[in-house]
């Protein structure tokens, strides 16, 4: 359980670091716009509820594909092909940027720890 808490804290820290970068914010906002557009499209075209439409948009973008929902109209199928190509790329870009921020945050934390350890050792040695 402790490990799970530590993981969430580290992910939160990486998200804060990533959000400071304009490319991450731009990618996140673009993905949000893509989700919103797909949600409205599926809701109107396929006559699904908003929650089902959003669920399908996220599952498609993450390439999960449970198969419980599928577009029935030709326009819906064409839209899903195009949406899938865009959404998968956006999810991958966002995940890559988050991983870079996670790595940077972890490296910075390790460097600060090492520097504190070095200062403590110098104080101890000079005593």
Which pLDDT score, from 0 to 100, does residue 120 have?
63
Nearest to 26 by CA among 103, 97, 86: 97
Which pLDDT score, from 0 to 100, does residue 124 have?
62
Strands, E assignment, 6-75: none
Which pLDDT score, from 0 to 100, does residue 2 have?
87
Rounded to two decimals, the pTM is 0.75
pLDDT digits (tens, 9 = 90+) for 9-27: 888 988 898 999 999 999 9
Which pLDDT score, from 0 to 100, does residue 47 have?
96
Which pLDDT score, from 0 to 100, does residue 108 have?
75
Q: Which residues of the chain have pLDDT under 50?
A: none
| Rounded CA separation 2/94 (Å) | 27
Which pLDDT score, from 0 to 100, does residue 123 have?
63
| Rounded CA separation 51/53 (Å) | 5
What is the separation, in whole angstroms, between the first and last Cα of the chain? 40
- CB 95 within 8 Å of CB 31: no
């Amino acid at each position: 359980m402790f490990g799970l808490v530590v993981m969430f804290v580290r992910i939160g820290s990486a998200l804060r670091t990533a959000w400071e970068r304009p490319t991450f914010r731009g990618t996140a906002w673009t993905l949000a716009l893509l989700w919103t557009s797909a949600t409205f499209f599926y809701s109107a075209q396929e006559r699904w509820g908003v929650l089902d439409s959003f669920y399908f948009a996220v599952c498609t973008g993450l390439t999960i594909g449970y198969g419980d929902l599928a577009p029935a109209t030709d326009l819906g199928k064409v839209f899903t092909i195009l949406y899938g190509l865009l959404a998968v790329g956006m999810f991958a870009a966002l995940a890559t940027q988050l991983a870079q921020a996670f790595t940077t945050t972890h490296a910075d934390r390790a460097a600060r720890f090492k520097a504190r350890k070095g200062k403590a050792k110098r104080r101890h040695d000079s005593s």
